[in-house]
Structure 1
Protein backbone atom coordinates (compact mmCIF):
# COMPACT_ATOMS: atom_id res chain seq x y z
CA UNK A 1 0.00 0.00 0.00
CA UNK A 2 1.42 3.34 -1.03
CA UNK A 3 1.69 6.33 1.25
CA UNK A 4 -0.85 8.18 -0.91
CA UNK A 5 -3.33 5.30 -0.57
CA UNK A 6 -2.88 5.21 3.21
CA UNK A 7 -3.50 8.94 3.47
CA UNK A 8 -6.64 8.61 1.36
CA UNK A 9 -7.86 5.78 3.59
CA UNK A 10 -7.24 7.80 6.75
CA UNK A 11 -9.06 10.80 5.25
CA UNK A 12 -12.09 8.69 4.29
CA UNK A 13 -12.18 7.13 7.76
CA UNK A 14 -11.96 10.55 9.37
CA UNK A 15 -14.95 11.72 7.35
CA UNK A 16 -17.10 8.59 7.38
CA UNK A 17 -16.72 7.31 10.95
CA UNK A 18 -18.07 10.48 12.66
CA UNK A 19 -21.01 10.45 10.25
CA UNK A 20 -21.77 6.83 11.14
CA UNK A 21 -21.50 7.61 14.85
CA UNK A 22 -23.89 10.56 14.39
CA UNK A 23 -26.43 8.34 12.60
CA UNK A 24 -26.12 5.70 15.31
CA UNK A 25 -26.65 8.20 18.11
CA UNK A 26 -29.52 9.82 16.27
CA UNK A 27 -31.28 6.50 15.88
CA UNK A 28 -30.34 4.77 19.12
CA UNK A 29 -28.60 7.19 21.44
CA UNK A 30 -31.66 9.14 22.56
CA UNK A 31 -34.06 8.13 25.30
CA UNK A 32 -37.03 6.44 23.65
CA UNK A 33 -40.34 6.12 25.45
CA UNK A 34 -43.07 3.80 24.23
CA UNK A 35 -46.70 3.33 25.21
CA UNK A 36 -49.05 1.15 23.19
CA UNK A 37 -52.16 2.31 21.38
CA UNK A 38 -55.38 0.43 22.19
CA UNK A 39 -58.29 -0.71 20.00
CA UNK A 40 -57.01 -1.15 16.42
CA UNK A 41 -59.77 -0.65 13.84
CA UNK A 42 -60.78 -3.57 11.63
CA UNK A 43 -62.36 -3.70 8.19
CA UNK A 44 -66.00 -4.74 8.67
CA UNK A 45 -66.00 -6.76 5.44
CA UNK A 46 -62.70 -8.64 5.80
CA UNK A 47 -62.00 -8.50 9.53
CA UNK A 48 -58.46 -7.35 8.76
CA UNK A 49 -56.77 -4.62 10.81
CA UNK A 50 -56.99 -1.32 8.95
CA UNK A 51 -53.74 0.30 7.79
CA UNK A 52 -52.77 3.69 6.42
CA UNK A 53 -49.58 5.10 4.95
CA UNK A 54 -47.16 6.49 7.51
CA UNK A 55 -46.90 10.23 6.60
CA UNK A 56 -43.39 10.63 8.05
CA UNK A 57 -41.69 7.23 8.20
CA UNK A 58 -38.23 7.13 9.77
CA UNK A 59 -35.57 4.80 8.47
CA UNK A 60 -36.36 2.19 11.14
CA UNK A 61 -40.17 2.42 10.93
CA UNK A 62 -42.66 0.68 8.61
CA UNK A 63 -44.28 2.56 5.73
CA UNK A 64 -47.76 1.51 6.90
CA UNK A 65 -49.36 2.37 10.26
CA UNK A 66 -52.20 0.61 12.05
CA UNK A 67 -55.34 2.76 12.33
CA UNK A 68 -56.50 3.01 15.93
CA UNK A 69 -59.85 4.01 17.42
CA UNK A 70 -60.31 7.64 18.47
CA UNK A 71 -62.86 8.92 20.99
CA UNK A 72 -65.84 10.41 19.11
CA UNK A 73 -66.97 13.98 19.68
CA UNK A 74 -69.49 14.47 22.47
CA UNK A 75 -71.30 17.27 24.30
CA UNK A 76 -72.59 16.93 27.86
CA UNK A 77 -73.24 19.13 30.90
CA UNK A 78 -70.62 19.69 33.59
CA UNK A 79 -70.93 20.19 37.34
CA UNK A 80 -71.42 23.93 36.78
CA UNK A 81 -74.44 23.37 34.56
CA UNK A 82 -72.51 24.47 31.47
CA UNK A 83 -72.11 22.63 28.19
CA UNK A 84 -68.83 20.75 28.07
CA UNK A 85 -67.60 19.23 24.81
CA UNK A 86 -65.05 16.50 24.25
CA UNK A 87 -63.26 18.95 21.97
CA UNK A 88 -62.22 20.83 25.13
CA UNK A 89 -59.97 17.89 25.99
CA UNK A 90 -58.27 17.68 22.61
CA UNK A 91 -54.62 18.56 22.95
CA UNK A 92 -54.69 17.30 26.56
CA UNK A 93 -53.78 13.99 28.16
CA UNK A 94 -56.78 12.92 30.21
CA UNK A 95 -58.11 10.09 32.33
CA UNK A 96 -61.78 9.13 32.15
CA UNK A 97 -64.03 6.98 34.30
CA UNK A 98 -67.73 6.10 34.58
CA UNK A 99 -69.33 6.30 38.03
CA UNK A 100 -72.42 7.50 39.90
CA UNK A 101 -72.69 9.48 43.12
CA UNK A 102 -75.07 7.05 44.90
CA UNK A 103 -72.63 4.16 44.37
CA UNK A 104 -71.48 2.60 47.64
CA UNK A 105 -69.28 -0.17 46.26
CA UNK A 106 -66.47 0.55 43.78
CA UNK A 107 -67.02 4.27 43.09
CA UNK A 108 -65.67 5.61 46.40
CA UNK A 109 -62.46 3.63 45.84
CA UNK A 110 -62.22 4.84 42.23
CA UNK A 111 -62.80 8.47 43.17
CA UNK A 112 -60.27 8.27 46.02
CA UNK A 113 -57.65 6.97 43.58
CA UNK A 114 -58.68 9.64 41.07
CA UNK A 115 -57.95 12.26 43.73
CA UNK A 116 -54.50 10.78 44.24
CA UNK A 117 -53.74 10.89 40.51
CA UNK A 118 -55.10 14.45 40.27
CA UNK A 119 -52.86 15.57 43.13
CA UNK A 120 -49.83 13.94 41.49
CA UNK A 121 -50.35 16.07 38.36
CA UNK A 122 -51.83 19.14 40.04
CA UNK A 123 -49.18 21.41 38.50
CA UNK A 124 -49.44 19.97 34.99
CA UNK A 125 -52.21 21.73 33.04
CA UNK A 126 -51.82 19.24 30.19
CA UNK A 127 -53.26 16.45 32.35
CA UNK A 128 -57.04 16.52 32.89
CA UNK A 129 -59.73 14.22 34.32
CA UNK A 130 -63.32 13.44 33.30
CA UNK A 131 -65.90 11.49 35.29
CA UNK A 132 -69.11 10.51 33.48
CA UNK A 133 -72.24 9.70 35.51
CA UNK A 134 -74.13 6.52 34.56
CA UNK A 135 -77.04 7.74 36.73
CA UNK A 136 -77.61 11.09 35.00
CA UNK A 137 -81.25 11.57 36.04
CA UNK A 138 -80.14 11.70 39.69
CA UNK A 139 -76.67 13.18 39.17
CA UNK A 140 -77.61 16.77 38.35
CA UNK A 141 -74.95 19.50 38.23
CA UNK A 142 -75.78 20.40 41.82
CA UNK A 143 -75.27 16.81 42.99
CA UNK A 144 -72.03 16.57 41.02
CA UNK A 145 -70.77 19.79 42.62
CA UNK A 146 -71.19 18.29 46.08
CA UNK A 147 -69.48 15.09 45.00
CA UNK A 148 -66.59 17.09 43.54
CA UNK A 149 -66.11 18.88 46.88
CA UNK A 150 -66.12 15.56 48.72
CA UNK A 151 -63.14 14.35 46.70
CA UNK A 152 -61.27 17.69 46.55
CA UNK A 153 -61.65 17.96 42.79
CA UNK A 154 -59.73 20.86 41.33
CA UNK A 155 -61.99 23.18 39.31
CA UNK A 156 -61.06 23.27 35.66
CA UNK A 157 -58.97 20.10 35.97
CA UNK A 158 -61.38 17.34 37.05
CA UNK A 159 -64.68 17.56 35.17
CA UNK A 160 -67.89 15.83 36.26
CA UNK A 161 -70.33 15.19 33.43
CA UNK A 162 -74.01 14.42 33.13
CA UNK A 163 -76.62 14.43 30.38
CA UNK A 164 -79.03 11.92 28.92
CA UNK A 165 -78.60 8.19 29.34
CA UNK A 166 -79.05 7.88 25.58
CA UNK A 167 -75.89 9.97 25.18
CA UNK A 168 -73.71 8.57 27.95
CA UNK A 169 -74.29 4.82 27.58
CA UNK A 170 -73.38 4.57 23.87
CA UNK A 171 -70.40 6.85 24.53
CA UNK A 172 -69.18 4.49 27.27
CA UNK A 173 -69.63 1.34 25.19
CA UNK A 174 -68.63 2.51 21.71
CA UNK A 175 -66.39 5.45 22.60
CA UNK A 176 -64.43 4.34 25.66
CA UNK A 177 -65.02 0.57 25.36
CA UNK A 178 -66.43 0.38 28.88
CA UNK A 179 -69.48 -1.81 29.73
CA UNK A 180 -72.43 -0.04 31.31
CA UNK A 181 -76.10 -0.98 31.80
CA UNK A 182 -79.24 -0.08 33.71
CA UNK A 183 -80.43 -3.40 35.15
CA UNK A 184 -83.88 -2.00 35.96
CA UNK A 185 -84.64 -1.96 32.24
CA UNK A 186 -84.73 -5.77 32.14
CA UNK A 187 -85.07 -6.78 35.81
CA UNK A 188 -87.87 -5.05 37.69
CA UNK A 189 -86.84 -6.78 40.92
CA UNK A 190 -83.76 -4.62 41.44
CA UNK A 191 -84.18 -2.09 44.20
CA UNK A 192 -80.96 -0.35 45.20
CA UNK A 193 -78.82 1.94 43.02
CA UNK A 194 -75.88 -0.45 43.33
CA UNK A 195 -78.03 -3.24 41.90
CA UNK A 196 -79.38 -0.96 39.19
CA UNK A 197 -76.32 0.63 37.60
CA UNK A 198 -73.75 -1.77 36.20
CA UNK A 199 -70.46 -0.18 35.16
CA UNK A 200 -66.73 -0.83 35.03
CA UNK A 201 -64.04 -0.02 37.57
CA UNK A 202 -61.63 0.85 34.76
CA UNK A 203 -59.86 4.18 34.37
CA UNK A 204 -59.08 5.04 30.74
CA UNK A 205 -55.97 6.95 29.66
CA UNK A 206 -56.55 9.07 26.53
CA UNK A 207 -53.82 10.91 24.64
CA UNK A 208 -53.88 14.37 23.07
CA UNK A 209 -55.22 12.99 19.78
CA UNK A 210 -58.11 11.08 21.36
CA UNK A 211 -56.50 7.62 21.24
CA UNK A 212 -56.91 5.22 24.16
CA UNK A 213 -53.48 4.36 25.58
CA UNK A 214 -54.39 2.21 28.58
CA UNK A 215 -57.01 0.69 30.90
CA UNK A 216 -56.42 0.47 34.68
CA UNK A 217 -58.29 -0.96 37.67
CA UNK A 218 -59.40 2.13 39.58
CA UNK A 219 -59.87 0.11 42.80
CA UNK A 220 -56.32 -1.29 42.78
CA UNK A 221 -53.62 1.04 44.14
CA UNK A 222 -50.82 -0.79 42.30
CA UNK A 223 -52.62 -0.55 38.99
CA UNK A 224 -53.26 3.15 39.58
CA UNK A 225 -49.54 3.51 40.31
CA UNK A 226 -49.02 2.04 36.83
CA UNK A 227 -51.41 4.67 35.45
CA UNK A 228 -49.38 7.44 37.11
CA UNK A 229 -46.18 6.04 35.63
CA UNK A 230 -47.70 5.77 32.15
CA UNK A 231 -49.05 9.33 32.27
CA UNK A 232 -45.46 10.38 32.92
CA UNK A 233 -44.26 8.24 30.02
CA UNK A 234 -46.88 9.78 27.71
CA UNK A 235 -45.85 13.26 28.86
CA UNK A 236 -42.22 12.45 28.00
CA UNK A 237 -43.25 11.16 24.58
CA UNK A 238 -44.86 14.51 23.79
CA UNK A 239 -41.88 16.41 25.18
CA UNK A 240 -39.47 14.53 22.90
CA UNK A 241 -41.68 15.27 19.89
CA UNK A 242 -41.86 19.02 20.55
Structure 2
Protein backbone atom coordinates (compact mmCIF):
# COMPACT_ATOMS: atom_id res chain seq x y z
CA UNK A 1 0.00 0.00 0.00
CA UNK A 2 1.37 3.39 -1.00
CA UNK A 3 2.04 5.83 1.87
CA UNK A 4 0.66 9.35 1.77
CA UNK A 5 3.31 12.07 1.43
CA UNK A 6 2.22 14.41 4.20
CA UNK A 7 4.95 16.96 3.46
CA UNK A 8 3.46 17.70 0.03
CA UNK A 9 -0.01 17.90 1.51
CA UNK A 10 1.26 20.43 4.08
CA UNK A 11 2.88 22.61 1.43
CA UNK A 12 -0.22 22.52 -0.73
CA UNK A 13 -2.35 23.51 2.25
CA UNK A 14 -0.10 26.51 3.01
CA UNK A 15 -0.22 27.67 -0.63
CA UNK A 16 -4.01 27.35 -0.61
CA UNK A 17 -4.32 29.42 2.56
CA UNK A 18 -1.96 32.09 1.19
CA UNK A 19 -4.04 32.36 -1.97
CA UNK A 20 -7.30 32.66 -0.08
CA UNK A 21 -6.02 35.34 2.32
CA UNK A 22 -3.50 37.44 0.42
CA UNK A 23 -4.31 37.34 -3.30
CA UNK A 24 -7.61 39.23 -2.92
CA UNK A 25 -5.76 41.94 -0.95
CA UNK A 26 -3.10 42.28 -3.64
CA UNK A 27 -5.77 42.53 -6.36
CA UNK A 28 -7.59 45.14 -4.30
CA UNK A 29 -4.43 47.24 -3.88
CA UNK A 30 -3.73 47.09 -7.61
CA UNK A 31 -7.28 48.11 -8.49
CA UNK A 32 -7.03 51.04 -6.09
CA UNK A 33 -3.66 52.14 -7.52
CA UNK A 34 -1.97 51.58 -4.14
CA UNK A 35 1.05 49.63 -5.35
CA UNK A 36 4.39 51.44 -5.36
CA UNK A 37 5.59 51.83 -8.92
CA UNK A 38 9.15 51.44 -10.02
CA UNK A 39 9.98 55.15 -10.19
CA UNK A 40 13.31 56.59 -9.18
CA UNK A 41 13.64 59.70 -7.03
CA UNK A 42 15.56 61.37 -9.82
CA UNK A 43 12.67 60.82 -12.25
CA UNK A 44 10.28 62.44 -9.78
CA UNK A 45 12.66 65.34 -9.24
CA UNK A 46 12.90 65.90 -13.00
CA UNK A 47 9.11 65.91 -13.33
CA UNK A 48 8.81 68.46 -10.52
CA UNK A 49 11.61 70.58 -11.94
CA UNK A 50 10.01 70.71 -15.38
CA UNK A 51 6.54 71.59 -14.12
CA UNK A 52 5.45 75.02 -15.36
CA UNK A 53 3.35 77.39 -13.30
CA UNK A 54 0.20 79.15 -14.51
CA UNK A 55 2.09 82.40 -15.16
CA UNK A 56 1.84 83.73 -18.70
CA UNK A 57 4.69 84.34 -21.11
CA UNK A 58 4.70 87.84 -22.54
CA UNK A 59 4.46 87.37 -26.30
CA UNK A 60 5.48 89.69 -29.14
CA UNK A 61 4.30 88.60 -32.60
CA UNK A 62 3.44 85.20 -31.18
CA UNK A 63 6.88 84.62 -29.68
CA UNK A 64 7.69 84.61 -25.93
CA UNK A 65 9.63 87.77 -25.13
CA UNK A 66 13.07 87.21 -23.68
CA UNK A 67 15.29 89.71 -21.87
CA UNK A 68 17.55 91.41 -24.43
CA UNK A 69 21.30 90.97 -24.06
CA UNK A 70 22.84 93.70 -21.90
CA UNK A 71 26.17 94.57 -20.30
CA UNK A 72 26.61 97.29 -17.68
CA UNK A 73 28.74 98.18 -14.64
CA UNK A 74 27.35 97.55 -11.17
CA UNK A 75 27.88 99.24 -7.80
CA UNK A 76 31.07 97.21 -7.25
CA UNK A 77 32.50 98.20 -10.64
CA UNK A 78 31.93 94.68 -11.96
CA UNK A 79 30.62 94.05 -15.47
CA UNK A 80 27.19 92.45 -15.23
CA UNK A 81 25.40 90.91 -18.21
CA UNK A 82 22.11 89.10 -18.72
CA UNK A 83 24.07 85.84 -18.47
CA UNK A 84 24.79 86.57 -14.80
CA UNK A 85 21.06 86.15 -14.19
CA UNK A 86 20.69 82.84 -16.01
CA UNK A 87 19.11 80.24 -13.73
CA UNK A 88 17.70 82.96 -11.47
CA UNK A 89 14.28 84.52 -10.99
CA UNK A 90 14.63 88.29 -10.87
CA UNK A 91 12.81 91.60 -10.82
CA UNK A 92 13.64 94.46 -13.20
CA UNK A 93 13.37 98.17 -12.35
CA UNK A 94 14.50 101.45 -13.89
CA UNK A 95 15.23 104.23 -11.40
CA UNK A 96 17.68 107.01 -10.45
CA UNK A 97 19.24 107.81 -7.11
CA UNK A 98 18.19 111.48 -6.96
CA UNK A 99 14.54 110.69 -7.71
CA UNK A 100 12.41 112.75 -5.30
CA UNK A 101 9.11 110.97 -5.94
CA UNK A 102 8.46 107.31 -6.74
CA UNK A 103 11.93 105.67 -6.63
CA UNK A 104 12.26 105.65 -2.84
CA UNK A 105 8.91 103.89 -2.58
CA UNK A 106 9.82 101.41 -5.32
CA UNK A 107 13.10 100.50 -3.67
CA UNK A 108 11.56 100.23 -0.21
CA UNK A 109 9.19 97.65 -1.71
CA UNK A 110 12.09 95.85 -3.38
CA UNK A 111 13.95 95.70 -0.07
CA UNK A 112 10.91 94.03 1.46
CA UNK A 113 10.84 91.54 -1.42
CA UNK A 114 14.59 90.96 -1.01
CA UNK A 115 14.10 90.14 2.66
CA UNK A 116 11.21 87.79 1.90
CA UNK A 117 13.45 85.73 -0.38
CA UNK A 118 16.72 86.12 1.54
CA UNK A 119 17.21 82.34 1.73
CA UNK A 120 16.98 81.83 -2.04
CA UNK A 121 20.33 81.94 -3.85
CA UNK A 122 18.55 81.94 -7.22
CA UNK A 123 16.60 85.16 -6.65
CA UNK A 124 17.87 88.58 -7.69
CA UNK A 125 17.06 92.14 -8.73
CA UNK A 126 18.33 94.14 -11.71
CA UNK A 127 18.19 97.92 -11.19
CA UNK A 128 19.16 100.18 -14.09
CA UNK A 129 19.74 103.88 -13.52
CA UNK A 130 18.22 106.26 -16.05
CA UNK A 131 20.62 109.00 -14.95
CA UNK A 132 23.99 107.38 -15.61
CA UNK A 133 25.76 110.73 -15.96
CA UNK A 134 25.33 111.23 -12.22
CA UNK A 135 24.85 107.67 -10.94
CA UNK A 136 28.42 106.36 -10.92
CA UNK A 137 29.27 103.02 -9.29
CA UNK A 138 30.26 104.90 -6.14
CA UNK A 139 26.91 106.71 -5.99
CA UNK A 140 25.07 103.44 -6.59
CA UNK A 141 27.11 101.73 -3.87
CA UNK A 142 26.18 104.39 -1.32
CA UNK A 143 22.53 104.16 -2.40
CA UNK A 144 22.54 100.37 -2.00
CA UNK A 145 23.99 100.69 1.50
CA UNK A 146 21.49 103.39 2.42
CA UNK A 147 18.52 101.21 1.47
CA UNK A 148 19.91 97.96 2.86
CA UNK A 149 20.70 95.99 -0.29
CA UNK A 150 22.26 92.71 0.87
CA UNK A 151 21.34 90.24 -1.87
CA UNK A 152 24.51 89.44 -3.88
CA UNK A 153 22.31 89.06 -6.96
CA UNK A 154 20.97 92.60 -6.69
CA UNK A 155 23.00 94.68 -9.12
CA UNK A 156 22.49 98.44 -9.46
CA UNK A 157 23.81 99.19 -12.91
CA UNK A 158 25.05 102.17 -14.86
CA UNK A 159 26.44 102.62 -18.37
CA UNK A 160 25.77 104.28 -21.70
CA UNK A 161 22.59 106.38 -21.46
CA UNK A 162 21.30 105.62 -24.98
CA UNK A 163 21.77 101.90 -24.42
CA UNK A 164 19.91 102.00 -21.10
CA UNK A 165 17.01 103.93 -22.60
CA UNK A 166 16.78 101.52 -25.51
CA UNK A 167 16.75 98.59 -23.09
CA UNK A 168 13.99 100.24 -21.08
CA UNK A 169 11.73 101.52 -23.85
CA UNK A 170 12.26 98.80 -26.46
CA UNK A 171 13.57 95.83 -24.50
CA UNK A 172 11.01 95.98 -21.69
CA UNK A 173 8.54 98.62 -22.87
CA UNK A 174 8.99 100.30 -19.50
CA UNK A 175 8.72 104.00 -20.30
CA UNK A 176 11.67 106.25 -19.40
CA UNK A 177 12.54 109.73 -20.64
CA UNK A 178 14.33 112.92 -19.73
CA UNK A 179 11.74 115.56 -18.87
CA UNK A 180 12.95 118.95 -17.67
CA UNK A 181 9.52 119.97 -16.42
CA UNK A 182 8.98 117.01 -14.04
CA UNK A 183 10.41 116.59 -10.54
CA UNK A 184 13.94 115.26 -10.73
CA UNK A 185 14.24 115.80 -14.48
CA UNK A 186 13.35 112.20 -15.45
CA UNK A 187 10.11 110.36 -16.00
CA UNK A 188 9.49 106.62 -15.69
CA UNK A 189 6.62 104.23 -15.10
CA UNK A 190 7.35 102.88 -11.62
CA UNK A 191 6.51 99.35 -12.75
CA UNK A 192 8.48 96.15 -12.20
CA UNK A 193 9.05 93.34 -14.70
CA UNK A 194 9.41 89.71 -13.60
CA UNK A 195 11.85 87.36 -15.35
CA UNK A 196 12.04 83.58 -15.04
CA UNK A 197 15.11 81.34 -14.80
CA UNK A 198 15.36 81.06 -18.58
CA UNK A 199 15.26 84.81 -19.19
CA UNK A 200 11.61 85.09 -20.27
CA UNK A 201 9.37 87.91 -19.08
CA UNK A 202 6.42 86.45 -17.17
CA UNK A 203 3.31 87.67 -15.38
CA UNK A 204 -0.02 86.54 -14.02
CA UNK A 205 -3.23 87.02 -15.99
CA UNK A 206 -6.07 89.45 -15.36
CA UNK A 207 -9.73 88.51 -14.94
CA UNK A 208 -10.11 88.33 -18.73
CA UNK A 209 -7.20 85.91 -19.20
CA UNK A 210 -4.74 88.50 -20.50
CA UNK A 211 -1.22 88.94 -19.06
CA UNK A 212 -0.94 91.97 -16.77
CA UNK A 213 2.63 92.24 -18.16
CA UNK A 214 4.04 94.36 -15.30
CA UNK A 215 3.58 94.85 -11.57
CA UNK A 216 2.95 98.23 -9.97
CA UNK A 217 5.97 98.98 -7.82
CA UNK A 218 4.92 102.14 -6.01
CA UNK A 219 2.11 101.10 -3.64
CA UNK A 220 3.21 98.99 -0.68
CA UNK A 221 1.47 95.99 0.85
CA UNK A 222 0.85 97.99 4.02
CA UNK A 223 -0.85 100.81 2.10
CA UNK A 224 -3.20 98.43 0.25
CA UNK A 225 -4.25 101.20 -2.17
CA UNK A 226 -2.92 104.60 -3.16
CA UNK A 227 -4.73 107.94 -2.96
CA UNK A 228 -6.42 107.22 -6.31
CA UNK A 229 -7.70 103.84 -5.13
CA UNK A 230 -5.16 101.84 -7.16
CA UNK A 231 -4.48 98.55 -5.36
CA UNK A 232 -0.98 97.34 -4.49
CA UNK A 233 0.61 94.50 -6.51
CA UNK A 234 3.62 93.71 -4.33
CA UNK A 235 1.83 90.79 -2.68
CA UNK A 236 0.95 89.42 -6.13
CA UNK A 237 4.56 89.85 -7.23
CA UNK A 238 5.77 87.89 -4.20
CA UNK A 239 3.34 85.07 -4.95
CA UNK A 240 4.49 84.92 -8.57
CA UNK A 241 8.18 84.96 -7.63
CA UNK A 242 7.50 81.85 -5.52
CA UNK A 243 5.83 80.16 -8.47
CA UNK A 244 8.81 80.81 -10.74
CA UNK A 245 11.30 79.68 -8.09
CA UNK A 246 9.39 76.37 -7.97
CA UNK A 247 9.47 75.84 -11.74
Question: SS of the counterpart of 2:155?
Answer: strand
Q: 1:147 maps to what in 2?
A: 143
Change (3 A) 1:87 1:18: same
Aligned match for 1:202, one of 191, 204, 207: 191
**Unaligned 5+ runs, structure 2:** 1-26, 37-47, 204-213, 221-231
Change (3 A) 1:32 1:206: closer
Could you give the per-residue CA deviations for residues 148-193 of structure 1, whole angstroms, max 9, x where no partner exists?
0011001522110000111100001121220111124xxxxx4x76
Give the TM-score normalised by structure 1.
0.71
Question: SS of the counterpart of 1:210?
Answer: coil
Alpha carbons 1:102, 1:193 under 8 Å: kept:
no
1:18 to partner: Cα distance: 6.2
- Structure 1 stretches of 4+ moved >4 Å: 16-19
Q: 1:53 maps to what in 2?
A: none
Pair 1:233 & 2:222 matched = no
What is the number of equivalent residue pairs in this alignment? 188
Q: 1:217 maps to what in 2?
A: 216
1:228 to partner: Cα distance: 0.5
Could you give the per-residue CA deviations for residues 6-61 of structure 1, whole angstroms, max 9, x where no partner exists?
xxxxxxx98x9668xx9xxxxxxx998411111x121xxxxxx3xxxxxxxxxxxx
RMSD: 2.6
Aligned match for 2:56, one of 33, 36, 42: 36
Pair 1:74 & 2:64 matched = no
**Unaligned 5+ runs, structure 1:** 1-12, 23-29, 43-48, 50-66, 185-189
Could you give the per-residue CA deviations for residues 119-141 of structure 1, whole angstroms, max 9, x where no partner exists?
00011011101110000000000
Aligned match for 1:178, one of 171, 174, 193: 174
Alpha carbons 1:92, 1:127 under 8 Å: kept:
yes
Q: 1:26 maps to what in 2?
A: none
Give the TM-score normalised by structure 2.
0.69
